[in-house]
Amino acid sequence: MNDDQLLRYSRHILVDEIGIEAQQRFLDAHAIIIGAGGLGAPAAMYLAAAGVGRITLVDADTVDLTNLQRQIVHMTRAVGTLKVESARETLNALNPGVDVIAVNARADAAWLDANVPGASVVLDCSDNFATRHAINATCVAHGVPLVSGAALRFDGQISTFDFRSADSPCYACVFPPDQPFEEVACSTMGVFAPTVGIIGAMQAAEALRVIGGFGETLAGRLMMLDSLRMEWNTMKIARQKDCPVCGNAKLQEAAR
């Protein structure tokens, strides 16, 4: 680290559990954030501020006036522009030392398979069930840690799936892809703005713990937030042997 970096990140370096070693790991890391909306906005800003060296933002949407109530990475002047370009401009202004890669595309299976293997961690900040399962399947296949968040109305949830551990559950263990699921969106149901801010900031915190190797992540736990009553509930989760993505039969088949 040079003198400017030592000063910029000094408040991290002063924390015993982080220090120069973990801060250097942040600088060397590559985080992929799928979704530059309500969750991805605070997550990206905290990762950039913390000095994560390379951040890839993936989103195919443009900034809409209705986004500005919660998607804090976008400014009013960005309405009508690509979300990833708007977010890159904000992140570059926040921390010019971070390499922000803007990908104006949907994170389909082919893109994920080509890019996830080079990441230190993936943050799922998407807003649909199919994308969540595609991200999960790719992270399982390549052993890349996944931080998954979701929020709607006053409800939020977050967990970390660390596939560097042999006994880690995956997203599909908790939300099986073959079960009926009603897709709902904040465009029809609404969302309390600070709820996505809380969950997105926590996703950044989880990603930094994964990268830095300090503290205890949410691996094996699902945290659920009711921000109307400001109550948290935590549920333990475990790998399911019959999981179609990471279960024993699937892993044995992959090994063959």
What residues contact 208, with CB distance under 8 A and at least 6 apart? 26, 46, 47, 50, 52
**What CATH number did the domain enclosing 247 receive?**
3.40.50.720
pLDDT of residue 250: 56
pLDDT of residue 252: 47
Cβ(103)–Cβ(84) below 8 Å: yes
Task: Please state the domain count of the chain.
Answer: 1
Residues serving a catalytic function are 186
pLDDT of residue 182: 61
CA distances in angstroms from 203 to 2, 11, 194, listed in the order given: 28, 20, 14
Nearest to 198 by CA among 223, 169, 235: 223
> Parallel, antiparallel, or unpaired for β 155-161 and 146-152?
antiparallel
Q: Which residues of the chain, if any, have pLDDT below 50?
A: 249, 252, 255-256
Look at residue 238 and give its three-state secondary structure.
Answer: coil
Cβ(242)–Cβ(231) below 8 Å: no
Query: Per-residue pLDDT tens for 171-206?
Result: 999 999 887 666 566 667 889 999 999 999 999 999
Q: Give the CA-trace dihedral at 64, 68, 71, 75, to 10 degrees.
A: 90
Instruction: Give ∠ CA 233-214-87 in degrees, rounded to 5.
Output: 75
Cβ(26)–Cβ(53) below 8 Å: yes
Tokens found for residue 35? 């979704």
Residue 41 sits in which domain range? Answer: 3-255
pLDDT of residue 31: 98
Total-model pTM: 0.93
Burial class (CB in 10 A: 0-12, 13-18, 19+), 88: buried
Query: Per-residue pLDDT tens for 77-100?
Result: 999 999 999 999 999 999 999 999
Tokens found for residue 79? 């309405």
pLDDT of residue 181: 60
